[in-house]
Chains A and B, each alone.
Chain A
């Protein structure tokens, strides 16, 4: 361990560290810092938790917040309940052993929606389910009860490739001699999958669930592209990301408020952080211990 090593280490990691700290890590921390200040008068004034008190006690802002949080939970639940099982099905089909050269083709085709921009996905589906086009004659996006599930399913259509790829990679990693042993014992494809492969890839589901949680609570693009920054009908598709944008950027009928925006961001950050910390602190190691 010589001194030169420290010098090289610093010189090589510093550029990346500076960019990463300046534009990713520090802004997140600073959001919390800014949420404790009031800058409306042009001068920053420390106000403690006043912005938080306002967010949760002002009837309008608190109603919007809880509405967005509930919608976000629904958005997450639909992803978890539809996208993950579907991803598992596709990964299982891709690795079933009955396909030969066609695997790559199917994998590429199934992953194409994931590579598209959400703006495109949103409008493609809006056109297809447009009552004018006659495939569906109910205004799915125009009704308060169906708008959010419809948008969630569009998002599932787009992102099902992600759990599919993770589970596909995990299934490919199942050792061949284990599968061979199952075959020798006369186990069919169905029982081999559920009794041999599935238990081996099960730890992946924890990671997929937590990533889905982070991504859906960070969601914004699809809903903004389709419904704008005050997503209707009647805020039924408003999630935390659109609420955050509306708060700091302003929208028709709402002034931009950077302090309150930082406050909303900090609350969302906390919501994500607590669940992620609980997962990695308690569950992750336990799930991993079952892995090969």
Chain B
């Protein structure tokens, strides 16, 4: 029962969405495509694909010889995986307790955690620096993992609580009657909140990987730089070497885009369920 009006409407909708999708993706594509060209190619025909004359991997060569992207990637991986795993473990324990044990101050503790979703943690940087100095954690990846875990816990706990609430009480009771301890009960329930864990992992990873502020302040030395900081410094040093610049930007962007496309559903779910509520 499609009418002419419906079809015209669909056409306009698709047209607009294609326009905005291009606006979102084209600038990134231009950078990626041009990173495979020579300087002349980049400025001569910025919107052409590389051809036999303009194709060059020279930019990437210089990125790898002068930059230190292997070290940067290693650091970002350690920090991101470390903070994500720590967040998952601590948030699972806390969210389980907050929904499971109806003790009198549970709502208070829950509220205290949830408040953190809105707290601008960066404003506490001066005391954080002082703590890290006194614990001799300045310029270490551990410092970053600790801060990012603290920063990610509120949203993670809020999200996981909505998933734990949905688990039928009968399952937990059955486990306890069978003599399972509390940790064992949690591990029986855990598979039922798996979508929640995936959502938490995806909303934790992206901001951690992308952050510039804390790497700049807590882990700035060459051997501790993350990818985000590495790209920032590299670009500052090689301002006129366009192929290398574009190569560095591509190397910084591509892993994230791949990660997001893989986890896109969980990410969207996590974001809308966690903050929208």
Contacts and interface: CB of A to CB of B under 8 A. Distances in A.
Interface of A: 1, 5-6, 8-9, 11-13, 15-17, 19-20, 22-28, 30-31, 34, 89-90, 93-94, 96, 98-99, 102, 104, 106-113, 115-120, 123-125, 127-128, 132-135, 157, 162, 165-166, 168-170, 188-189, 204, 207, 211, 214, 217-218, 220-221, 224-225, 241, 244-245, 248-249, 258, 261-262, 265-266, 268-269, 272, 276
Interface in B187-238: 206, 209-213, 216-217, 227-228, 231-232, 235
A258 B20 CA distance: 44
Given A112-B24, A162-B271, A166-B275, A268 B123 contact: yes
A110 B22 CA distance: 8
Given A13-B93, A15-B93, 14 more contacts: A16-B93, A99-B14, A104-B264, A112-B28, A119-B228, A119-B231, A119-B235, A120-B231, A127-B31, A166-B271, A214-B118, A220-B212, A248-B126, A269-B120
Interface stretch (B49-57, B59-67, B147-155, B166-174): B147-155
B120 A119 contact: no
Nearest to B181: A8
A24 B116 contact: yes
A8 B185 CA distance: 12
Interface residues of B, number: 93
B119 interface: yes
Most A CB contacts (10 A, CB to CB) among B21, B157, B211, B242 go to: B21
Interface string B52-89: 00000000000000000000000000000000001001
A165 B146 CA distance: 29
A31 B127 contact: yes
A37 to B, nearest CB: 11
Given A113-B24, A224-B212, A12 B125 contact: no
A30 B124 contact: yes
Contacts of B242: 127
Interface string B89-114: 11101101110111100100100110
A153 B164 CA distance: 40
Shortest 10 CB-CB contacts between residues of A and residues of B: A27-B124, A12-B97, A169-B272, A23-B150, A98-B10, A30-B127, A117-B210, A27-B127, A16-B94, A16-B90
A111 B126 contact: no
B266 to A, nearest CB: 12
B180 interface: no
B232 A119 contact: yes
Contact of A12 (B93, B209, B249): B93
Contact of A265 (B21, B126, B271, B276): B126
B33 interface: no
Contacts of B21: 106, 109-110
B150 A112 contact: no
A120 B27 contact: no
Secondary structure dominating the interface of A: helix
B40 interface: no
Contacts of B20: 90, 93, 110
Nearest to B47: A135
Contacts of A11: 97
B179 to A, nearest CB: 15
Contact of A98 (B9, B264, B275): B9
Given A19-B146, A24-B121, A268-B120, A117 B17 contact: no
Contacts of B124: 24, 26-28, 30-31, 265
Given A22-B131, A28-B124, A94 B276 contact: no
B101 A248 contact: no
Given A93-B17, A96-B9, A115-B206, A165 B122 contact: no
B257 A218 contact: no
Contact of B17 (A94, A111, A276): A94
B213 A166 contact: no
Interface string B123-152: 111111111000000000000001101110
B212 A225 contact: yes
A13 to B, nearest CB: 5
